[in-house]
Structure 1
Amino acid sequence: MTRRPLLRTGIVAVAAAMLASLTTAAQAADDLPAFYQAPDTLPAGDGTVVRTEPIRYLLDPAGVSDVAYTSKRMLYTSRSRTGERHAVSGSVIVPKAAWKGPGTRPVIGYAVGTQGVGDTCAPSRQFSEGIEYEGLFMAGLLKRGYALAVTDYEGLGTEGAHTYMDRVSQGQAVLDAVRAAQSQDWAGLSSSSPVGIYGYSQGGGAAASAAELAGSYAPELKVKGTVAGAVPADLSVLPGVLDGSLYAEFLWFAVTGLTDSYDIDLQPYLNERGKQFLADASDDCVFDLFNASFKQSKDFTVDGSSLGDLIAREPFRTMIDDQRIGRIKPSAPVLLTHSLLDDIIPYRTGRQLAVDWCARGANVRLSTNTSPLHVGGILNNATEVYGFLEARLAGKPAPSSCWRL
């Protein structure tokens, strides 16, 4: 796949997704469909499937894709940051063509980028009800024969708030999605299937966290490598970049998602305007970001403090510090990609992650690019994943950048 067609198609997909989202932005989230409602008692184990059902794609109402892939959404068990077991939704997509590579078919734990915080934003629902903008990048992996286990993350699609940017919750949701996919006979996978992990932006953070947690949380998984792009490894730098910008709503997604995870009441810190803004944003999806664009967070707080000021104080400071990625050595090689021109997650954040992991003896390759802005950086990430994973699956040594960082 060449970069130019990818760019053209990507622009069309993004534009279509923006149009679809903008036409429904004012609608309140509907009640959870029955499929996404967890039973009173969950089955034992982590990554245990509760139920599955076939996926029908909005852009393929005739089911033509059924010829090439078997696609099912799933509800499976995972754990919150505190270890509480809950149900998480996701998808498993498997090519019907026989795997032509060495060994058994690999499965990729696919960590999606920012979708939003409303239940209707969940990728497993967007396939059928909207346009999942990462479908383009998923298609490239499927074409190469990989199975995909795609998590919706905690609270995105299921009961409760989406704990956006919670390091532990997101990493565990990725790993448990892989476990769930491997347990399904129809998927043609097993516990011996080789595993890759992939993600960009929020997904880059989730993928990087999964790489760190795999050795302790899911040691039975045969993780061969991780590709993570534009990793938000240090959330403390983001208010200075995002507050008052086009992407200001992402900052609110993170603060509200984390305060829910840590059971911190944000309401006393907000003025009436802030409380209303937060209520309005609770069902927003990614392309509703214009609702908060160029707004300053200090205008929504009781004392005029910005979100950057708040997270420098307790109880927020510890909460933000807990999300730091780079303190645990990944058990398999990692490719990090990041654009020098990233306007959402500063390049220095990704480079520091590589430095931190190298200091712990990890095998890390940092691939720096100059693609325009954060959106452009995903193109490098999506194209570099193929060669990296194919080499790892073939058992070739992984080159490291640690010597030059």
Structure 2
Amino acid sequence: GGGERPGIGDAGGTQGAADRCAPSRTLSPGAQYEGVGITSLLSRGHAVVVTDYEGLGTPGTHTYMVREAQAHAVLDAVRAAAQVSGSGVTSTAPVALAGYSQGGGAAAAAAELASDYAPELDLKGAYVGAPPADLVQVADRIDGGLYAAFLLYAMAGQLAAYDVDPATHLNETGLTALAGAAETCVAGSRAYAHLDSATLTHPGQDFPELVRSDAELAGILAEQRIGAPGRRPDVPVMIAHSVTDDVIPYRTGRDLGRRWCAEGARVRFDPLLTPTHVGGHVAALPRMGAFLDATLADRWTADSCGWF
């Protein structure tokens, strides 16, 4: 069609913690597991801008699951692309955000902050897949399970962002695990599967217990909650979440949608029946594409508020 080529700020899912895991390092050799989703957006005629996030592929610790840092990374990537000749993105082009899992949280947070942080962007909508909007709920789900390494990524990212010495909370075993996980990508994270986090902390509490009982950590995690009172997107949003998600609880995504609705946001909520976290991502791709096409073209999108 006519007009400027739309841009998509793509927020990647969990890549790992090592610099070599960054999308800028994995896209070219075809090692990026989210390549199918990115390709689907390109095939629809959109320019896609993928962020590495803070500290992933660059110096410093990856600020994994830090709400503002991830949101800023997504929005800054779109801003930067508009300054690059040949990127396909202009400063006045219509823009949407998209992400699943870690990326769902990043896209959600970016949608909340965009009107204040990047008001110059012509933001039209956001796709938010399986958002980790409440990190305590996610910790309850994955602690001691197949994805236990993600808790190490989150612990490292949160402590680094808030300048907290890990030794304050972790024993020698915990510090060793934290350092080891920092060198892994998501494929290598299985080395920490079923890790008992209670063996890593000074008080012998598992991570979910620790972040509830320690006032400093509880405060840090409260800062990461998406959909807090007074925060909502100013553009239409689609949330998709599998009812059998084995990583991020279904209620975490559903409740985010409800909180946004209560704040007056326009939310389409799609419950998915495809099993598992990964299955939900694949199942949502066609819906994501259709929703983003509609929002970028200023077409009507469904509002599910009051129905989920």
Return the TM-score normalized by structure 2: 0.96
**Aligned pair 1:103/2:3, yes or no?**
yes
What residue in structure 2 maps to residue 336 of structure 1?
239
What SS class does the counterpart of residue 27 from structure 2 fall into? helix
Structure 1 residue aligned with 2:287, among 368, 372, 384? 384
Counterpart mapping for 1:136-285 below 5 A: 136-285=36-185
Query: Counterparts of 1:199 and 1:356 in 2: how far apart (Å)?
Result: 19
Query: Counterparts of 2:297 and 2:190 in 1: how far apart (Å)?
Result: 44
The change in CA–CA distance for 1:329 and 1:111 in structure 2 (over 3 A counts) is same
What residue in structure 1 maps to residue 222 of structure 2?
321
Higher strand share: 1
What SS class does the counterpart of residue 187 from structure 1 fall into? coil
The amino acid that maps onto 2:113 is L
Off by >4 Å, runs of 4+ in structure 1: none
What SS class does the counterpart of residue 186 from structure 1 fall into? coil
**Cα deviation code 1:236-275 (max 9, x no counterpart):** 1122111110000011111111111011112132222222
The amino acid that maps onto 1:362 is A
Question: Does the CA contact (< 8 Å) of 2:181 and 2:189 recur in 1?
Answer: no
- Percent of aligned positions with the same letter in both sequences? 48
Counterpart mapping for 1:114-125 below 5 A: 114-125=14-25
Deviation at 1:203, TM superposition (A): 0.3
Deviation at 1:130, TM superposition (A): 6.4
Query: Counterparts of 1:112 and 1:142 in 2: how far apart (Å)?
Result: 15
Specify every segment of 5 or more residues in structure 2 that has no aligned partner in the other structure, as ranges.
none
Question: Does the CA contact (< 8 Å) of 1:241 and 1:343 recur in 2?
Answer: yes
**Aligned pair 1:397/2:300, yes or no?**
yes
Question: Does the CA contact (< 8 Å) of 1:246 and 1:293 recur in 2?
Answer: yes
Query: Counterparts of 1:184 and 1:351 in 2: how far apart (Å)?
Result: 37
Specify every segment of 5 or more residues in structure 1 that has no aligned partner in the other structure, as ranges.
1-100
Say which is worse superposed, 294-303 or 352-361, in terms of deviation: 294-303
Deviation at 1:210, TM superposition (A): 0.7
What SS class does the counterpart of residue 319 from structure 1 fall into? helix
Query: Counterparts of 1:161 and 1:329 in 2: how far apart (Å)?
Result: 28
The amino acid that maps onto 1:357 is W
Query: Counterparts of 2:77 and 2:145 in 1: how far apart (Å)?
Result: 34
**Cα deviation code 1:182-218 (max 9, x no counterpart):** 1223224321100010000000000001100111000
The change in CA–CA distance for 1:188 and 1:374 in structure 2 (over 3 A counts) is closer
**Aligned pair 1:353/2:247, yes or no?**
no
**Cα deviation code 1:281-301 (max 9, x no counterpart):** 111110112111011100112
Question: Does the CA contact (< 8 Å) of 2:47 and 2:88 recur in 1?
Answer: no
What residue in structure 2 maps to residue 369 of structure 1?
272
Say which is worse superposed, 173-182 or 271-280, in terms of deviation: 271-280
Bigger CA radius of gyration: 1
Deviation at 1:129, TM superposition (A): 5.3
Return the TM-score normalized by structure 1: 0.74
Question: Does the CA contact (< 8 Å) of 1:228 and 1:381 recur in 2?
Answer: no
**Cα deviation code 1:282-324 (max 9, x no counterpart):** 1111011211101110011222111112111121000000000
The change in CA–CA distance for 1:292 and 1:403 in structure 2 (over 3 A counts) is same
Question: Does the CA contact (< 8 Å) of 1:155 and 1:162 recur in 2?
Answer: yes
The amino acid that maps onto 2:133 is A
**Cα deviation code 1:7-35 (max 9, x no counterpart):** xxxxxxxxxxxxxxxxxxxxxxxxxxxxx
What SS class does the counterpart of residue 175 from structure 1 fall into? helix
Query: Counterparts of 2:121 and 2:273 in 1: how far apart (Å)?
Result: 34
Question: Does the CA contact (< 8 Å) of 1:337 and 1:380 recur in 2?
Answer: no
Question: Does the CA contact (< 8 Å) of 2:174 and 2:200 recur in 1?
Answer: yes
Deviation at 1:112, TM superposition (A): 0.3
Question: Does the CA contact (< 8 Å) of 1:239 and 1:308 recur in 2?
Answer: yes
Query: Counterparts of 1:288 and 1:341 in 2: how far apart (Å)?
Result: 24
What SS class does the counterpart of residue 228 from structure 1 fall into? strand
Equivalences, count: 305
What SS class does the counterpart of residue 306 from structure 2 fall into? helix
